[in-house]
Copies of this chain bind each other. A is one copy, B any other.
Amino acid sequence: MNHLDIPQLLGLLVLILGFAKLFGFLAKQVGQPAVLGELVAGVVLGASALGLVAPKNEVLHFLAELGVLILLFEIGLEIDLGKLLQSGGTSTTVAVAGVVLPFAGGYAVCWSLGLDNLVSIVAGATLTATSVGITARVLADLGRLQDTESQIVLGAAVIDDILGLIILAVVGGLTEGQAITVLGVAKITGIAFGFLAATLVLGGLIVPTVVRWFSHVNLPGTQTTVAIMLAFGLAWLASAAGSAMIIGAFAAGLLLRKTPQAKEMGKGVASLGHFFVPIFFVVVGSAVDVRAFNPVDPANRQTLLVGGLLVVVAVLGKFLAGYTPFWFRGNKTVIGVGMIPRGEVGLIFAQMGLSSGIFDSGLFSAVTLMVMITTFMAPPLLKLLFPPIPLGTEPPNRTYTARG
């Protein structure tokens, strides 16, 4: 206990939570999602400016890791797989095109700039996942959640997230130095799909019984504890099975969604999320070095060139994906624009690339710039294309959208 300076860590936590709340509030004031403010708070507290949140602080990284697991659990808890399957082919087409086009574009850009094959793959992967949280929150704020276009965007963003999780597991295996063979990729894909499938099938049989048993435990907080135990337990299991921890946490959410206790669990876990999740975004933001964006320094030109091209590919790829369901007669531009914001998963990829040494800090900063710009541009664009309905539908009862 004497090695950790606990009062200092407490002070740091207060600063992180305070800055996250302050910048989240300011972001909202200028019409941006709160999560963007939390990233900016990280930039301010991190390497670029104050230097208080050091990338090497292990306890903060552990708390951030708990934060991203809780966030993915919350996403899973909000996703109704059955309902998404109904929205059917249109969402899936947009999602698949929205993964393939940015990935191919990002890979092509990086490879043609002379970057390594593995680096190009990981960079391409960072472009794939739409942030379902940011998109849902923006659509809710505009009172447009019940529009057909919104349903398609949300469905596609969710499928996107699942595809992103699979890609994440594949890339995670690659960044750990596994050779890039067809067999290797197939194996990782098999493990990722297999773990998710096995967990959902076996979990679907076991979890309702376990939850029912625990519902007899008349102790306060039991539901929250069960949810956290399943999220962390499956995260540990996923890791032990050679998959990504967040897939386990996500699967835990999917499994618990169908139980009668889901709502109570969501509330309790949301309170934990209010504490842990901003730590994740601040820690991610703290790793961005804005000095890498200084155009006066010739050393940064490569970073800015790559970052700029990634932004173009990221926007174009998702925008074109909105046009792939050619049979759809609604507003395809709205769909494309709704898919643009990247978020959590993109940042997780970037973090993974950085911590494994595949990304240098310049490329990491370029990717984070891409995430921030795509996240910045979507809300005002959507507002332009999709005027708010003043007395529109209620914001959805999604704890996850609250992440903003």
Contacts and interface: CB of A to CB of B under 8 A. Distances in A.
Interface of A: 1-4, 6-11, 13-14, 17-18, 21, 24-25, 28, 34, 58-59, 61-62, 65, 69, 214, 217-222, 224-226, 228-229, 232-233, 235-236, 239-240, 245, 267-275, 278, 355, 399, 402, 404
Nearest to A404: B219
B7 A220 contact: no
B1 A219 contact: no
A219 B62 contact: no
A10 B219 contact: no
B355 A219 contact: no
A5 B8 CA distance: 23
Given A240-B7, A268-B271, A1 B235 contact: no
A235 B402 contact: no
Contact of A24 (B59, B69, B219, B399): B219
B218 A10 contact: no
A246 to B, nearest CB: 12
A224 B271 contact: yes
Contacts of A10: 69, 232-233, 235-236, 239, 245
10 contacts: A1-B61, A7-B239, A11-B233, A14-B236, A17-B228, A21-B217, A220-B274, A221-B271, A221-B274, A267-B271
Contact of A221 (B7, B14, B270): B270
A7 B274 contact: no
Nearest to A356: B2
A354 to B, nearest CB: 10
B224 A1 contact: no
A58 B3 contact: yes
A69 B229 CA distance: 22
A365 B274 CA distance: 38
Interface centre among A69, A232, A235, A273 (most CB of B within 10 A): A232
A259 to B, nearest CB: 17
Contacts of A69: 10
A6 B229 CA distance: 15
Query: When A and B form their complex, which 3 residue pairs have the shortest distance between CB atoms, in order from nearest?
Result: A221-B274, A271-B271, A220-B402
Contacts of A232: 10-11, 13-14
Contact of A222 (B6, B14, B21): B21
A274 B225 contact: yes
A221 to B, nearest CB: 3
Nearest to A235: B10
Nearest to A399: B220
Contacts of A8: 236
B6 A224 contact: no
B219 A34 contact: yes
Contacts of A278: 225
Nearest to A24: B219
A132 B270 CA distance: 29
Contacts of A14: 229, 232-233, 236
Nearest to A22: B217
Given A24-B219, A217-B25, A219-B28, A6 B245 contact: yes
A270 B25 CA distance: 24
A220 to B, nearest CB: 4
A111 B218 CA distance: 44
Contacts of A355: 1-2
Contacts of A24: 219
Contacts of A229: 14, 17-18
A34 B219 CA distance: 8
A235 to B, nearest CB: 6
Nearest to A401: B220
